[in-house]
Every structure is written in structure tokens, then in C-alpha cells.
Amino acid sequence: MKKFIEEFKQFIARGNVMDMAVGVIIGGAFSAITTSLINDIIMPILGIFTGSISFAALSVTVNGAVIAYGNFIQAVLNFLVMAFVVFCLIKTINRFHRKKEQPETPPAPPEPSAEEKLLAEIRDLLKEKP
């Protein structure tokens, strides 16, 4: 049992597990924001065009069973908005990493020293001699 607890402590202490936990917490908060965006802003606007205040009110009753397809539409829109935002975030992060990975242009070669200039002049003079 002690070994199991030690392994569990090592697992929890790893950096990527902590990053994942932070991601899940932020994702939950982000989910609440997108749900509010869908329910409180987008759906009422779409409801204007459908003649309903909210898609949540859309339902069909079949033999006493209520099929609330409006809630399903809201869930699909919520997913699409969240997927779009995550796509934009990943695209931005990837663009940042690509810029970061591109090698900088190498600096211009240093100016030749006086000795190199003198040697180049001597070489050029020797080439001119017949």
C-alpha cells in the first residue's frame, strides 16, 4: 500500500498532470462563459427569427413523451462556439511557435581585418601581373 501511495504522489507531482488540472479548471470556467453566450445572447437573437424567445422552449410531445429538441440545438451551438474558439486559440499558439522556431537571419560577416585587406590587395596585384 505504501508503494502505491508513493507512486500516486509522484504521479500527482509531475508538471504535466498539474498543467492538465489547470486546463480542466479553466475549461470548466470557459464552458460556463460559452454556455452563457449561447443561452443569453445567441439563442435569443436566433429566437427572433424563429418566432420563439429561446430554442430551449422548442419541444414536441409524442405519446406523452416530451422531446426537447431545442435543448439539443443549444448544446450543438455551444459545442460549435467552443470548438471555434479553441481552434482560433490553437491556430494563434501554433503561429507564435512557428515564428519563435524560425531561425533569425545570420548576422553580416564581420569586416575584414587590416591584414586580410592587405593580403587581398597583394593577391589582386599579383593577378594583374602578366
CATH number for the domain whose boundaries are 2-128: 1.10.1200.120
Q: Residue-wise over 33-61: b if at least 16 C-beta within 10 A, else e?
A: ebeebbbeebbeebbeeeeeebbeebeee
> For position 75, what pLDDT does the model report?
82
Task: Tell me the domain boundaries of the chain.
Answer: 2-128
Q: Are 55 and 47 in contact (CB under 8 A)?
A: yes
Angle, CA of 111, 117 and 122, to the nearest 5°: 160
> For position 110, what pLDDT does the model report?
84
> pLDDT in tens for each of the 130 residues of the chain?
888 888 877 776 766 777 777 788 888 888 888 888 877 887 778 778 767 656 677 788 899 898 888 888 878 887 888 788 778 878 888 888 777 666 677 777 888 888 888 888 888 888 887 6
Q: Which of 129, 110, 126, 108 is nearest to 118 (CA)?
A: 126
Look up the pTM and report it.
0.50
Q: Are 83 and 30 in contact (CB under 8 A)?
A: no
